């Protein structure tokens, strides 16, 4: 995974590669899926949950650059893998489900990581970020998923798409369906 997927895709930061090597992906999938835990595709976990491909997590870490001072909020896609990757890199790591992200919660987080692709980030997540807090997430626009980097603003979270890649979609963050002309 390190040499054939991450390095060849431009992920070469030693600390990112060390974290990816230190946290065994097979511990975060069902027994029957352990043989495919390192493939370059998402691994279905059941109930609409998935473990994203290694490249997504590696690029997310590289863009987030968590520091020892960061208070990190992770919207977990259902595997627990991303919180395990970030643990020890930041002052604190709090993981919540996508459903919990839709509810009001404590704030003051300096870094938000969303382990999946969202059509829209709920205002409840923006409210949990400290002023100028950073965010790294997957986005969905027109069916295309991208890794995006963002920052809290007065209007929510402003995002800049960085790279197209396969990212499991978080249906809890889908825009409400509406009719338009």
What are the structural domains of the chain?
A: 2-170 (3.40.50.150)
d(CA 6, CA 19): 12
pLDDT at 179: 77
* In the block, residue with structure tokens 């987080």: 109
pLDDT at 48: 87
* In the block, residue with structure tokens 């997927």: 5
Quick: pLDDT tens for 23-62: 999 999 999 999 999 999 999 999 889 999 999 999 999 9
pTM for this prediction: 0.95
Contacts of 137 (CB under 8 A, 6+ apart): 112, 113, 114, 116, 117, 118, 121, 147, 148, 150, 159
pLDDT at 110: 98
Alpha-carbon distance values, 4 to 12, 29, 124, 162 (Å): 12, 21, 38, 21
pLDDT at 177: 81
| Residues of the chain below pLDDT 70 | none
Q: How many CB atoms lie within 10 A of CB 142?
A: 5
pLDDT at 142: 92
């Amino acid at each position: 995974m390190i040499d054939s997927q991450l390095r060849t895709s431009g992920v070469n930061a030693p600390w990112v590669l060390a974290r990816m090597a230190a946290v065994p992906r097979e511990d975060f999938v069902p027994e029957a899926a352990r043989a495919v835990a390192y493939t370059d595709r998402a691994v279905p976990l059941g109930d609409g949950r998935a473990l994203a491909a290694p490249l997504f997590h590696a690029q997310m870490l590289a863009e987030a650059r968590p520091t020892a001072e960061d208070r990190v909020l992770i919207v977990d896609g259902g595997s627990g893998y991303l919180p395990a990757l970030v643990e020890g890199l930041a002052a604190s790591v709090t993981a919540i489900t996508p459903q919990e992200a839709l509810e009001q919660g404590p704030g003051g987080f300096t870094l938000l990581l969303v382990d999946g692709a969202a059509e829209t980030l709920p205002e409840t997540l923006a409210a949990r970020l400290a002023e100028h807090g950073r965010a790294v997430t997957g986005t969905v626009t027109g069916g295309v998923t991208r890794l995006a980097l963002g920052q809290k603003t007065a209007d929510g979270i402003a995002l800049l798409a960085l790279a197209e890649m396969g990212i499991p979609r978080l249906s809890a963050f889908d825009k409400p369906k509406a009719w338009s002309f």
